[in-house]
Amino acid sequence: MEQSQALKLVKPHLTEGRYRHTVGVMETAMILAERFGEDSKKAETAAIFHDYAKYRNKDEMRDLVKNKLSRKDILDYGSELLHAPCGAYYVEHEIGITDQNVLNAITYHTTGRPEMSGLEKIIFLADYIEPNRTFPGVDEVRELATRNMDEAIILMLQQTIAFLVKRRQLLYPLTLETFNESIRKQRGEN
C-alpha cells in the first residue's frame, strides 16, 4: 500500500495532533529501519497504523478483547493499553493487512514484549522518540537510538516504568518482562 493511501485511511480515525504524531512515528520508524537493517516499508506501514484504534469506543474495544483477542489480562490495566491489540485486529479486518510482523508491531507498541522482532522494537521506540515528543529524558533516548536500539529501549523502559511508579499506576507485566529480558541480554545472561 502506498504511503499516501495509508495515511488517507488512518487520518479520519485520529485527531490533528495524533495525526502529526503518527507522521512523526512513521518518519522516525523509517530512519530506524534503515539504520538497523529492517524493512523500511513494513516499518512505514506499522507506524502509520500503530494508533489506528486510539480513539475507538472503549466499551467496543473491551468487548473485542473479551470475545476475540487472546490478551484478556490487558483489561485489568486501564483503557490506555486497549488501542494497541485492538488496533492490530482492526487493521487486519478493516484494512486487510495480514503481515504478522506488522500486526505484532502494532499490537506491542505500547507494552513491548520479550523477544520482540526488529520491526517491533522499531515501532516501540519510534512511538516514544518521534520529534513531536517533548518530555524530560526523551532527548537522551533519541541520542542513544542513533547508536544502539537495545540500549535506547532499556532507557525508554526505565523512564516509562519510573513515570508510572511515580504516578502510582499499575505496571503491565509484559512491560516488566520486556525490561527484565532486555537487562538479561545486556548482561549476556540467558
The class of domain 3-136 in CATH terms is: mainly alpha
Q: Report the alpha-carbon distance of residue 185 to residue 7 in Å, rounded.
A: 36
Tell me the per-residue pLDDT of 60-73, one tens digit each, with 9 for 90 and over. Answer: 999 999 999 998 99
SS3 call for 117: coil
- Asked if 123 and 138 touch (Cβ cutoff 8 Å), the reply is no
Domain ranges within the chain, ordered by starting residue: 3-136
Q: Report the alpha-carbon distance of residue 69 to residue 119 in Å, rounded.
A: 22
Q: Report the alpha-carbon distance of residue 138 to residue 161 in Å, rounded.
A: 14
Tell me the per-residue pLDDT of 110-148, one tens digit each, with 9 for 90 and over. Answer: 999 999 999 999 999 999 999 999 999 999 999 999 999
Report DSSP state, residue 147. Answer: T
pTM tops 0.75 = yes
